[in-house]
Amino acid sequence: MKLILAILRDEDSENVSHGLISAGFRVTRIASTGGFWRRGNTTVMIGVEDEKVDEAVEIMRTHCGRPAEAGSYRATLFVLNVAHYEHI
């Protein structure tokens, strides 16, 4: 099991979330702020089986807008190992 933490620009969060949900992923969105200019961001948390990580990342890549200039980016992703989880 993996946990994907994706920090997205606010303008991409709706498209990315809808793309993931449409593909059957469960998504939790949290409003966040960061970076030098304190731009609005959205942090998306997605719990996925190991074999679904590439699919989730590709969906995010497809649904993010293009960077405004060369060398910039639209999202930062962290893929973390999950030792244990349970639903209560």
pLDDT in tens, 56-79: 999 999 999 887 777 778 899 999
- Residue 10 pairs in a beta bridge with none
What pLDDT shows up at residue 74?
86
60 touches 75 (CB < 8 A)? yes
How many Å apart are CA 20 and CA 67, to the nearest integer? 20
For domain 2-81, give the CATH number: 3.30.70.120
pTM of the predicted model, to two decimals?
0.87
Q: Chain-wide mean pLDDT for the chain?
A: 90
pLDDT band at 5, cuts 50/70/90? very high
Per-residue model confidence (pLDDT) at position 38? 64
At 14-28, the pLDDT tens digits run 999 999 999 999 999
